[in-house]
Amino acid sequence: MGYQVEIDKKSGFCSGVIRAIRCTETALGENKPVYSLGAIVHNNEELHRLEAKGLRVINRGDLEHIPEGSTILIRAHGEPPSTYALMAERKIRLLECTCPVVLLLQKKIKKEHARIKPQNGQIIIFGKQGHAEVDGLVGQVGGDALVVENEKDLEGLAFSGGPVSLFSQTTQNPEGYQKIREYLAKLLEEKGIDPGMLKVFDTICSQVDGRQAALSRFALSRSVILFVAGKESSNGKVLFRTCKEANPRSHVIENPGEISPEWFRPGDTVGICGATSTPFWLMEQVAEKVRNL
C-alpha cells in the first residue's frame, strides 16, 4: 500500500545504555565468557544479538557458581554494595557499566542518608518496586528507604517528625514525580510537620525528561505510531503512555512480527519510536516491515 514512514531520530538508546553496550562488545571481543548480572538492556531483540556474540545473562543466585576469575558485567541500572562485596570475595573480574547518572544518584542518596539519619530522617524513593536500579539505590542505605510507586503508597506512612528527603528513579515520569512531591508536602502539612522538613532532589535523567515533550510532539505529527520496546522496560511503559495520550492510534510492539495490518488506513503517516532501551536497528526493521505492507 505504501505508507509514509518516519523514525523518530531522538528515540533509541540513551547515553548510559550506549556506554554499557560498547563496554560489553569490547569485553566480548576478547573471546572469553562475559556474564551479565541481569539483562543488560530490557529489550529481547538486542539481548539475543549480544547473546549470539557470547554474552551470558545470570542472576544473583548464579554468582556462587561462576568460576573464579570470570568477567561479570554490572549493567547500566547499577547494583547494591552487597553485590560488589560478593564479587570481591569470589575474586571475580568486574566490568563496571553502571550509568554515570545512576552512580551519581547512588552517591547522593548515601550522602543524604548519612546527613539526616542522626536527625531521625527518612529517605523516600519514587520508583518501581523490585527494579534493578531501585534495588541498587535502596542498597546504598542498607535498606533504610521507602519505595513508592504512586500516591496511594504514601497513605498511612508514619512520619518520624525528622527530615524527609525525596528522590526519584532516573527513568520515572516527571509528571508522576511532581504529583508525588505535591502529595507528600500535603501529607506533611496535614500532620502538622513543617514543610521545610521536606527536601526534593531532581534526579530524573535529563535525557528521559526531555524525551517526554519531544515524543508527544512526534506522536501528534503522525496518524499512526508504532512504539518499539521490550515488555520489561520501565522507561518503555512511561514513554508509550506519553505516545498514547498524544495519539490514541499508538501501538506498542517488541519486534516487526507483532505488526497488524489492521492498524493502518489508506494515506496514513506512520511514526516509529522507542524507549531508551530500544536499538535503532530494530526500529529500522519495523519501518521496513511497514513500508512493505
- Considering the domain architecture, whether residues 181 and 138 belong to the same structural domain is answered as yes
Write 198-203 long-range contacts (CB < 8 A, 24+): 198/163, 198/164, 198/165, 198/166, 199/112, 199/163, 199/164, 199/165, 199/166, 200/165, 200/166, 201/108, 201/112, 201/165, 201/166, 201/167, 201/168, 202/168, 203/105, 203/108, 203/167, 203/168, 203/169, 203/170
| pLDDT for residue 253 is more than 70 | yes
- Considering the domain architecture, whether residues 87 and 149 belong to the same structural domain is answered as no
Range of the domain at 218: 4-12+207-291
- Considering the domain architecture, whether residues 43 and 56 belong to the same structural domain is answered as yes
Residues 6+ apart with CB under 8 A from 110: 140, 141
- Considering the domain architecture, whether residues 213 and 250 belong to the same structural domain is answered as yes
> Looking at the 3D structure of the chain, how many domains does it have?
3
> Would you name the residues annotated as active-site residues?
133
Residues 6+ apart with CB under 8 A from 152: none
- Write the Ramachandran bin of 135: left for phi over 0, alpha for psi from -120 to 50, otherwise beta: alpha
Alpha carbon distances (Å) from 227 to 89, 201, 230, 272, 273: 43, 30, 10, 6, 5
| pLDDT for residue 259 is more than 80 | yes
- Considering the domain architecture, whether residues 139 and 225 belong to the same structural domain is answered as no
Tell me the three cell numbers of residue 236: 518503555
CATH number of the domain enclosing 261: 3.40.1010.20
- Considering the domain architecture, whether residues 116 and 197 belong to the same structural domain is answered as yes
Q: What pLDDT digit, counting tens, does each position of 263-282 carry?
A: 999 999 999 999 988 999 99
| pLDDT for residue 177 is more than 90 | yes
- Considering the domain architecture, whether residues 128 and 162 belong to the same structural domain is answered as yes
Given 159, 180, 204, the domain boundary residue is 204
| pLDDT for residue 251 is more than 80 | yes
